[in-house]
Amino acid sequence: MSILDSKIPKGPLADKWTKHKNTIDLVNPANKRNIDVIVVGTGLAGGSAAATLAELGYNVKTFCYQDSPRRAHSIAAQGGINASKNYQGDGDSDYRLFYDTVKGGDYRSREANVYRLAEVSGNIIDQCVAQGVPFAREYGGLLDNRSFGGVLVSRTFYAKGQTGQQLLLGAYSAMNRQINRGKIQAFNRHEMLDLVKIDGKARGIIARDLVTGEIERHSAHAVVLATGGYGNVFFLSTNAMGSNVMAAWRAHRRGAFFANPCFTQIHPTCIPVSGENQSKLTLMSESLRNDGRIWVPKKKEDAEAIRTGKLKPTQLAEEDRDYYLERRYPAFGNLVPRDVASRAAKERCDAGFGVNKTGEAVYLDFAAAIQRYGKEKALTSGVHNPTKEQITKLGEEVIEAKYGNLFQMYEKIVDQDPYKTPMMIYPAVHYTMGGLWVDYNLQTTVPGCYAAGEANFSDHGANRLGASALMQGLADGYFVLPYTIGDYLSNDIRTGEIPTDTPEFDQAEKEVKDRIEKLMSASGTNSVDFYHKKLGKIMWNKCGMSRNEKELKEAIDEIAALREDFWKNVKVLGIADGMNPELEKAGRVADFLELGELFAKDALTRNESCGGHFREEYQTEDGEALRDDENFKFVSAWEYKGEPKDAVLHKEDLVYENIELKTRSYK
């Protein structure tokens, strides 16, 4: 057995969490006042954790690089949040949500964690409603649900196409309440540059005030990292421009193991890349797949005619269209999980059926849904014998009510009217299932350093289902971490305030300053973005939707060489002791250049295809992923040893006692 102890409680699956909560140590309210906790990142996981910890009585300091906690990238999540409330009476349960999530993750997640997630999911909805989150409702005044990919029930709660925004504003309001009470000190426009360890325990961070450039020391009894994912290692992704891996990577360098870095989610419904100057990709909510049908032309010559603008998609007859998801996966159709839908789109485009100028796009068509809803609406609103125009108009109104903001966004970006012509979509990097390795208590391998939300690896295995990220972020922050951290902090009630004038802080601060100095003085010729774009190209081409041994090996070498070049030839203008976004970017890209290599190494080690990780060598005859449970039913946790190539692999074997491992099928 390896040195990884997942600390999963004994006993039956459904009782583990309750039993665990009953037996772990607590900190009494009077003592909580003497304990400080640092929370880095203020998205759903960090914001909710900070608010809850402060409410429990701890002194909380929050850090975010944005100018306000409300702007963390959780805000961009569109579709919804899952919960096993079974309000629709369609047979949902904690077990079913648990089962769907483990299966959706292609059996690479931890049973106990996922079951706990399902167990607390209902609480999240109660909590959010109490906070004033305006979820969508039915006419009877009760909450509405919709369906998402990879499941057979309707369990997704939503607030138009802005669910992430509303949930984040809920967590932010809970934070505000604590800021108002003086229990949270919010350090906005601050970036964590290093983790400080004292006697092996996480005891603080070094942060940079992004406005003044000042390097600050902050101490605490525990540090929570809720800093999101590392999708921006691909340069182009649906992440925010500032999303980065620095906090997690700095913790990794200080001893926190990094788990499954190669598990990345490529989201199938994004707006295709339009040109070389593009800075980011925009997601169109997966909820669109409830009503949109995905297709490409059946014949290559039609696809070519469309690409050159000679043919319009609306002119193509029904029998000349290939609804390839419905063809390949009749049971789930357009609602197959994300990894499956993305790969299928890539397969069609690679085969020459792509429909935009670059040949890297497929259609998402609402014409059928508009007609269907139009007829329904005509019937319910008493219009007899409606004309085709009437039906279309009514149908468009229904679609607008459901997805209006998404359609508007598409039109603004692409300059085409998606009510009249099908949308064009293509997969894009969206979410990273990998992250810091944590045990059942969400503690990393550094005592006192916790990771929550997308920043940890725990719940989604090799592929995340839609509407599960919001659920996990809030579950970790509101309902898991505040309890489990108490178990650790109960040993700290006599510690007293942690001083910052210690050699450990001196050393960490010096290292941070040296690194900044090195970046500023590399009198090179290339901008930071130059390197970031190059790295992104390598990642997308060789570690993207499908991977193979040869290209992964190339990627490892190329990234290492690029990293070396970066430190010699990067050009960072401006000053270190003031606002300098170029310097911020440089620090982040430097860490991406290390992570990228570990990413490729992890992908190379995993000789199987599972979830978002597709190795070309391991597929069935009809192109489906071929998992290898015998040899790879484990979590890869990497230990830092200097260069990424020297990282040491530790395996946490995944034990399935409640679910039978099966080949994932959505046919």
Residues 379-408 close enough to bind other proteins by CB under 8 A: 408
| C-beta closer to other proteins: residue 158 or 614 | 158
| C-beta closer to other proteins: residue 15 or 67 | 67
Residues 209-248 that bind other proteins (CB under 8 A): 211, 238, 240-242
H-only helix segments in 232-366 = 246-253, 300-307, 324-328, 338-348
For residues 462 and 654, the answer to whether their CB atoms sit within 8 Å is no
Tokens encoding 282: 């925009």
- Catalytically active residues are 338
Contacting other proteins (CB under 8 A), which of 42, 109, 147, 166?
Answer: 166
Q: What minimum distance in Å lies between the beta carbon of 510 and other proteins?
A: 26
CA distance 186 to 517: 27
Residues 602-661 that bind other proteins (CB under 8 A): none
Residues 326-385 that bind other proteins (CB under 8 A): none
- Indicate the residue type of 27: V
Q: In 10 A of CB 603, how many CB atoms?
A: 27
The site string for other proteins over 462-501 (x = CB under 8 A, - otherwise) reads ----------------xx----------------------
Is 88 a binding residue for other proteins by CB under 8 A? The answer is: no
Residue 433 is given by DSSP the state -
Contacting other proteins (CB under 8 A), which of 2, 5, 134, 331?
Answer: 134
Contacting other proteins (CB under 8 A), which of 84, 162, 264, 265?
Answer: 162
Contacting other proteins (CB under 8 A), which of 16, 20, 32, 70?
Answer: 70
| C-beta closer to other proteins: residue 172 or 666 | 172
Q: What minimum distance in Å lies between the beta carbon of 43 and other proteins?
A: 11
What 3 state SS string does 60-97 have? EEEECCCCCHHHCHHHHCCCCEECCCCCCCCCCCHHHH
Q: What minimum distance in Å lies between the beta carbon of 138 and other proteins?
A: 7
| C-beta closer to other proteins: residue 19 or 21 | 21
Contacting other proteins (CB under 8 A), which of 18, 28, 68, 665?
Answer: 68
Residue 66: which residues within 8 A CB-CB, separation 6 or more?
42, 72, 188, 189, 242
For residues 266 and 281, the answer to whether their CB atoms sit within 8 Å is no
The set of long-range contacts for 650-657, using a CB threshold of 8 Å and a minimum separation of 24, is: 650/2, 650/3, 650/4, 650/257, 651/2, 651/4, 652/2, 652/4, 652/6, 652/259, 652/437, 654/107, 654/108, 654/109, 654/110, 654/111, 655/111, 656/107, 656/111, 657/13, 657/111
| C-beta closer to other proteins: residue 237 or 636 | 237
Tokens encoding 345: 């789109």
Contacting other proteins (CB under 8 A), which of 275, 309, 503, 642?
Answer: 275
Tokens encoding 82: 């899952």
* Candidates 166-174, 606-614, 620-628, 654-662; binding stretch for other proteins (CB under 8 A): 166-174
Contacting other proteins (CB under 8 A), which of 8, 24, 143, 398?
Answer: 143
H-only helix segments in 264-348 = 300-307, 324-328, 338-348
| C-beta closer to other proteins: residue 107 or 410 | 410
Residues 41-60 that bind other proteins (CB under 8 A): 48, 51-52, 55
Tokens encoding 645: 């190539």
Is 131 a binding residue for other proteins by CB under 8 A? The answer is: yes
> Could you give the count of Cα atoms lying within 13 Å of 396 in the half-sphere of its Cβ?
13
Residues 170-189 that bind other proteins (CB under 8 A): 172-174, 176-177, 179-180, 186, 188
Contacting other proteins (CB under 8 A), which of 2, 278, 605, 620?
Answer: 278
Q: In 10 A of CB 564, how many CB atoms?
A: 11
